[in-house]
A and B are shown apart, each in its own frame.
Chain A
């Protein structure tokens, strides 16, 4: 098995591993630590080239106060919620149904339709930038939360369908057959038999999609502008003044923006890891 469990290695190797791990971790987290540190520094520390040292004075309260009470940040956070939550609900609901259809029914083009969902995931999304922007403009959805939500649902459904279809395939088919023998309608089979069994998949997928959408920056910048519709990832740059980048406020804003997905991860860790592996192994 690879990688070999560390317990089977020699004592010196184990010691080296234990010694190196914190150092590697420190390097790995260095940019993040710098952001966290900057978020409690006064602006002047940047102009004094105090990039890695301790703050010259503690300005955390001031910076975070600015973020929450003297900027559009709460608005952006709310936008993020209004974009992320409908997307999660929409994508998961749709993919439950597509997954059920593709996983349970045997019809001629079943596999081809399934491949189309999967193939969508292989399209590099950058090449869709211009057509999608034009499409939302023509539909009058440019610079609206609705436009962003609809696009995210459409684009995420491909991956979600792959995930759900494989999960439903792994369910014992006898359950459905038994229900059919009892004469239960297909909709009720979906609702009362399959859906309750899908709870772990639903939880895992919701957590995964939540972090995907919350952290999306690309489409937020392409499809929206301004505080009335942009999510928090794109809104962080609004701290920049006309001539100057306000690194201390951007850092504080970044920390605030990163908190919900991080909290989500720690609270739902089990589901998150399940989500990453569930779709992968059939």
Chain B
């Protein structure tokens, strides 16, 4: 009896070994640094790491959560001195300094794996520098125009797709005594969103990125054209008055009360608008309209990412963790409404049953062929982002001073990029 039992166990062991030959058991330590310090995302990430840990019991995982703002200064330090095996960060230009300093591991091999290659193509561009990939995305969200459907219906308007339709709609909205768009530019970045879209639609994604990288003059005619388009909306009274005194949250009531018809904002604006009493029948979403028909549509979709530092000790386990993070099943869980409530990066994941997330997922998967930008203050260097967003705000208040503002930004460009 006893020996028979042993035999069976041995047989099982052999069978198991043959069934999963590639999956070597992971062992050792895996240290993970997270910047998701707010309670809700923190819980989501810790649960995710818990599930990963259950799959790999041989691995002892140590998670450190660092305050989101403090993380931004500490990352320089720990990537060189005391590197974890996995660290959170942001895509595109925000990871460029660390990629160029050789502090992030090249993970192009992950993107070459068949089950990953197709599935996470939508964020591949944002993680590519010099034709190599330097990390994986774990969540992102769309930007676009959130508008009051009931006001549009009352005025007989439909979702615009071209610049002329957008302006015609706006003229009718202004005529009805409302502003077309609410915005609060007190903290500047909201104006950066408008600039992103107007410039990407006028001059295209590549030009926009060149401008962020300091390769184009601010006094270039093409940049002026972007501002001229913006000026058309400002001059017709499209934006709410005194927007420079409101934060983005303080600008929400204008939309709730129907004093403004639309808000160019990230998807995080939906939750407070719903809480304030707007139903899904009153609130809807459309992609920012085409301006220059020759330009492919590109979108703002700030992307949060995981990277493996070059100095990591357990890169094998770190890679397995990254595989798990982007897997369809995990992406479905962490991005659902109970957790992050954002868009999954894996095309095979199911998106939460939410009309805005579904529209955003569809838009970013199928209708953002020009590229995905990270948002102006992530794409441009911090100093230039600040100077330029101050310029955007000033322009929105005093549109006639454009030449002066652009000259100032051009001087800043000469100083900042060296």
Contact = CB atoms under 8 A, between A and B. Distances in A.
5 contacts: A47-B249, A48-B276, A48-B277, A49-B250, A49-B256
B266 A243 contact: yes
A241 B68 CA distance: 11
Contacts of A44: 272, 275-277
Given A47-B275, A48-B253, A71 B70 contact: no
A247 to B, nearest CB: 8
A240 interface: yes
Complex A-B, nearest 7 residue pairs according to Cβ-Cβ distance, in ascending order: A49-B253, A47-B276, A243-B268, A44-B275, A44-B276, A47-B272, A47-B252
Given A42-B275, A47-B273, A225-B70, 16 more contacts: A44-B276, A46-B249, A47-B252, A47-B275, A47-B276, A49-B253, A49-B256, A72-B39, A226-B37, A226-B67, A241-B38, A242-B38, A242-B41, A244-B249, A244-B271, A245-B249
B128 to A, nearest CB: 26
B257 interface: yes
Interface in B219-251: 247, 249-250
A231 to B, nearest CB: 15
Contacts, number: 50
A43 interface: yes
A49 B257 contact: yes
B39 A71 contact: yes
Contacts of B276: 44, 47-48
Contacts of B266: 243
Contacts of A244: 249, 268, 271-272
B74 to A, nearest CB: 10
Contacts of A48: 253, 256-257, 276-277
B121 interface: no
Interface in A203-257: 225-226, 238, 240-245
Interface of B: 37-41, 66-68, 70, 247, 249-250, 252-253, 256-257, 266, 268, 271-273, 275-277
Nearest to B269: A243
Contacts of B39: 71-72, 238
Nearest to B273: A47
Nearest to B69: A225
B347 to A, nearest CB: 25
Nearest to B255: A47
Interface of A: 42-44, 46-49, 71-72, 225-226, 238, 240-245
Contacts of B37: 226
Nearest to A50: B253
Contacts of A245: 247, 249
Nearest to A230: B67
A72 B277 CA distance: 29
A47 B247 CA distance: 12
A138 to B, nearest CB: 14
A152 B125 CA distance: 50
Contacts of A243: 266, 268
Nearest to A71: B39
A47 B268 contact: no
Nearest to B253: A49
B253 A43 contact: no
A92 B40 CA distance: 42
B179 to A, nearest CB: 15
A246 B39 CA distance: 13
Contacts of B277: 44, 48
A240 B37 CA distance: 11
Given A47-B275, A49-B253, A243-B266, A225 B67 contact: yes
A256 B162 CA distance: 52
A47 B67 CA distance: 27
Contacts of B247: 245
A135 B120 CA distance: 46
Nearest to A42: B275
A241 B249 contact: no
A240 B38 CA distance: 8
Interface centre among A43, A47, A240 (most CB of B within 10 A): A47
A47 B38 contact: no
Interface centre among A43, A49, A72, A241 (most CB of B within 10 A): A49
Given A240-B38, A243-B268, A244-B272, A47 B253 contact: yes
A48 B272 CA distance: 10
Contacts of B38: 238, 240-242
A241 B40 contact: yes
B35 to A, nearest CB: 10
Given A48-B253, A48-B277, A242 B68 contact: yes
